[in-house]
Amino acid sequence: MELVVVHNISLPPGQFGGPGIFELFSNALDPEAHPYYREIQGLRVSSHFLVRRDGGLFQFVACGKRAWHAGQSEWRGRSRCNDFSLGIELEGADDQPFEDAQYRQLGDLVRALARAYPITACVGHSDIAVPAGRKTDPGPRFDWSRVPRSFPSAG
Return the active site residues. 89
CB count, 10 Å around CB of 63?
A: 13
Coil/strand/helix, residue 86? strand
Cβ contact 107:101 at 8 Å: no
**8 A C-beta contact, residue 78 and residue 3:** no
- Distance CA(123)–CA(91), nearest Å, equals 17
The answer to whether 92 touches 98, Cβ cutoff 8 Å, is yes
